[in-house]
Structure formats: C-alpha cells, structure tokens
Amino acid sequence: MQASRPAMRSLDDALAELLGHAQPLSGMEQVSTFDAQGRVLAEDIVSALQVPHLDNSAMDGYALRCADVPQTGTVLRVTQRIPAGSVGTDLLAGTAARIFTGAPIPPGADAVVMQEDCEPVAPGTEIRVLSVPTSGQWIRRSGEDVRRGDRVLAAGRRLDPQSLGLAASVGRPQLLVRARPRVALFSTGDELVMPGAVAPSDLPPGAIYNSNRFFLRGLLQRLGCTVTDLGIVPDQRAATIEALRAAAQHHDLVLTSGGVSVGEEDHVKPAVAELGRLDLWQIAIKPGKPFAYGRIDAAHFMGLPGNPVSSFVTFLMLVRPFLLALQGATDLAPPGQPMRADFSWPRADRRREFLRARRNAQGGLDLFPNQSSGVLTSMVWADGLVDNPPGCTVAVGDTVRFLPLAELLG
C-alpha cells in the first residue's frame, strides 16, 4: 500500500521555518567602498562629520548681506572670488563675493543671489542686484544632509549605489560586510544537455538544454554568493549521494534543481535523507510545490523543482530571502504593490499562485497567455509576478498584489 503524501505547507509557514534555520554567517571582511555593491553591512555607519561640512552655496552667483540690498537695483562692489574648494574672507558691508556652487559662504554673508538675478556694472568689480534677497536663500547649511553622530546606514542593510555614495560622503573608504554565502549548484536529470554540447538539429529525442543552471547561477551571483557550479549529476542514487557529500564539505548551501518529486528517478530527496536530514518538501504554491530543505553536516540543502518557471519562482520566494538572511540582511520581504488587473483569471487554485504579468501603458497589468510551469518565455516577457492567494479568481478591474521582478532580482 502506497504511503500517503504529507500535507502541503503554506508558503508563509515554510518560509518562517526556513528563516529559523538561517543564522547569519559568522565571517566578516573589510572591503573597499568601491567594491561593496550588493554586500550586507555588518556594522552601523556613524558619521564623524557634518555634511555639508560648512555652509555653502547652492548656486553660482553672489554672496552678500541682505541688509545691503533693501531694494532692487542696488549696486554692490565685488571684493572677492570664491570657487569651490577655496575659503573666502570676511565680507565687508556694502560688498559682494563672486561665489560658485559648493563654495563655502564667507563670514558675514547671509544670502546668495544667483547670477541670473544680477548684472555687471563694471565687469569684475561691481554688480547690480535685480532681486531683493531673503536671509538664507541658496545657502546649503552645514549638517542639513548629515549631522555629526548620525547613523547614516544600519547594520543589515544590503548596499546599493546610493548607500555607497552616502558612505563615501561621510569619509568611509572601506566597509565591514558579512561574508558571501558559498553555494554549490548542480542539476539532476539524464535528459539535460548543455548548450554547445549538441547542436539543436542533433538534439536526441527527450533531451532538453539545461536552462535552469544558467538562471540559477545568475540569481545566486546577483545575491552576492560565491558559486561553485558542479554541473549535471546523472539520475543515479550513488552519483547523487556522492555529489551531495562532496558539495556539503566546503559550502554553506547546496542547491539542486530537479529530482525532488516522487518519481522513481527522483533521487535527491532520499539521498539527502540518507546523508543528513530532510525537513520539508511540499509547498502550496503554483508554480512550484516540490521543494526540499534539509541539512548535510553543517551545510544547508535546498532542492528546487525541475520545471524552469517553478524553479525560478521557488528560488525568488524561498531561496532568495534565505540567502539574504544568511548574510544578516534585515529587509527580506518581497516588495509588493497594489495594481489594477486588466485581465481575468477565472480558475481558482487551492495553491497560492504567482502569475507572470507586466505593466501596461494604461497603468494596469496584462497577463502572459500561457502560465505553464515549463514556459520560460513568460519570465522574460513579464516584469513581475501577481501574488494571487489560494482559492481566488481575478476579474478585470480587480486590485491585485504585484511583485516587480526588478526589485526581486536586485
């Protein structure tokens, strides 16, 4: 008598359990701020200075005293010239300083008049001011961006280009970041062929090119992982066990694609169970469902389904947050936004569905016509996923939750 299958687990429950296993890696390293893109901060960044450091001009123009310009047409003598990177002297009453964007405001000045609101009377020595200034205009105050002692970046933040710029603005040439996860990647399946090994015209019946290997490697690299590609493992129990044992020795995560379903040639699940332990393997999502998590010695194990869209979506929903958690990242939730559906989806499913969609010029969402788990073109066409709850249909005009791929892949 065939044993009954375990009940499917919700995505939220499975993710919560996975994250409970994802203790941040202990390793840290100092890296150049130039090279820290995508890494996760291991310490708070606290500013040791004010930004801007001094009051400075927001415009090319003239620094002056408001009291010296009671009306339009006032003529002032120009007594100094202050380019960015230099420092002016005390501004005397009845005079102006030619000043350029970013240059420090000279002592005594309380406003900047842009050059378009001034005209020369005697070139280089006198100007006529064509507008009455107000105190503080076109002056960027010291500390208006960052004050000394401010925490400008928090530990756990995944560094993006703007974060690197902010770190540099407070004088940090290096940053302490979490270690990169070491991930061993391999695929299973005797039907898999690498592009270039066989010409399309000579592809044997039943053979397919190994697309999963390419996008999974790319996804791992975008998440800052160090990837060891172990290629394709034959659908044999002994070969699968040996590949898993070797991969677990020097990696934080072993990630496989295919072989986690219930077919006679699906050897990954029993092989992991023999070498270590397997905690869960069926998730109530579509595309997806067959997913495995376990441990082999100190290494985590995750097994993704073989169908390409299933593998891609399952990676985004489960593997991505897990790898970010290993790096100590604090923002793990997939970004979602409400949007209008310009499509109908009349077939409710008991599983939580992730439908491939893209934004249109009318501000709504269109749906790719073929939502099969094997249609990888749907992931290229789409710019996001509609997160459709279990048992829900969608009618034209309904509000749905949209997950932009640009943010999930960043």
pLDDT value at residue 380: 97
Q: Which residue has the tokens 């399946």?
A: 189
Superfamily classification of domain 28-48+157-178? Molybdopterin biosynthesis moea protein, domain 2 (3.90.105.10)
CATH number of 11-26+180-326: 3.40.980.10
How far is residue 361 CA from its own chain's centroid? Answer: 25
pLDDT value, residue 174: 98
What pLDDT was estimated at residue 252? Answer: 97
State residue 264's pLDDT score.
46
Instruction: Give the pLDDT confidence score for residue 211 in this predicted structure.
Output: 85
pLDDT under 70: residue ranges of the chain: 1-6, 259-266, 280
Q: Does domain 337-409 have CATH number 3.10.20.310?
A: no
For Cα atoms 207, 316, 206, give the angle at the middle one, nearest 5 degrees: 5
d(CA 208, CA 190): 10
pLDDT at position 289 is: 86
The class (CATH top level) of 56-140 is: mainly beta
pTM comes to 0.87
Half-sphere exposure of 172 (CA within 13 A, CB side): 28
Can you give the pLDDT at residue 263? 54
pLDDT of residue 8: 87
Q: Locate 54 and state its tokens.
A: 């001094």
In the chain, domain spans:
11-26+180-326, 28-48+157-178, 56-140, 337-409
Cis ω for the linkage preceding 173 (within 30 of 0): no
Dihedral-angle region of residue 189 (phi above 0 means left; psi in -120 to 50 means alpha; beta otherwise): left
Cα-Cα end-to-end distance for the chain:
48
- Residue 333: the pLDDT is 85
Q: What is the pLDDT of residue 1?
A: 43
Tell me if domain 28-48+157-178 and domain 56-140 are identical in fold.
no
